[in-house]
Structure 1
Amino acid sequence: MEILRYVFLVFHLFGFAAIMGGLFFQLRGKDPVTGSYMVSSTVVQLVTGAGLIWTRISLDLPVDTAKMWVKLGLDVLIAATAVTGMRNKQPWAFYGVGTFTAAAAVVAVAWT
């Protein structure tokens, strides 16, 4: 189970890197848009984040439930914004995905 927790953690970090890497790559262009890579990366973030919560509870490790609910809520918000941006090609959604992803990273690192 401990190995599964690390697998979830690594893929959660891969999802974050894919979102932010794609975001910075898109910023180089004239018209940044939310692409399918953002949607698939947010799904990875959402699934692996829920998996991390489940494995921590299964291993009887301490879980800060308030932090986990905030992180899970941000992951849902990121996914919804990415899907909206991909369907409607709205520029606000592109910047929203980046802002919410950065906020989720701050919550993950700074909230102790």
Structure 2
Amino acid sequence: MEILRYVFLVFHLFGFAAILGGIFYQLRAKDLVTGGYMVSSAVVQLVTGAGLVWTRVSLDLPLSHGKVGVKLALDVLVAVTALVGMRNKQPWAFFGVAVFTAAAAVVAVVW
């Protein structure tokens, strides 16, 4: 079970890196739209985050319900904003995904 937790953690970090890397790449190219990779990476974040919570509960490890709730809300906001931005091609959605992703990283590290 501990190995599965680490697998979830690695893929959770891959999802974060894909979103953040794409944001930096598009900022450099000055193409401020969200792409399908952001939506799929956000879904990876949601699924692997749920897997991380499940493995922590299964292993009787301590769990901060407040942190989990805030991270879940931010990950849902990233996914919904990326989906809306992909369909409407609006630059505000691109910046929304960037802000929500950065906020999720801050919550994960600082809290």
For structure 1, list consecutive stretches of 5 or more residues without a partner in the other structure: none
**CA offset at residue 30 of structure 1?**
2.8
Q: How does 1:1-112 map to 2 (within 5 A)?
A: 1-111=1-111
When the two chains are superposed, the root-mean-square deviation of aligned CA atoms in Å is 0.6
- Over residues 26-74 of structure 1, what are the superposed CA-to-partner deviations in whole Å (9 max), with x where a residue is unaligned? 0012331100010110000010001100110010000000001100111
Q: Distance in 1 between matches of 2:71 and 2:30?
A: 31
CA shift, 1:88, in A, is: 0.5
One-letter amino acid matched to 2:20: M
- SS state of the match for residue 31, structure 2? coil
One-letter code aligned to 2:102: A
Give SS of 2:60's match: coil
Any idea what SS the aligned residue of 1:60 has?
coil
**TM-score normalised by structure 1 residue count:** 0.97
Distance 1:10 1:72 in 2: 18
In structure 2, the gaps of 5 or more residues are none
Number of equivalences: 111
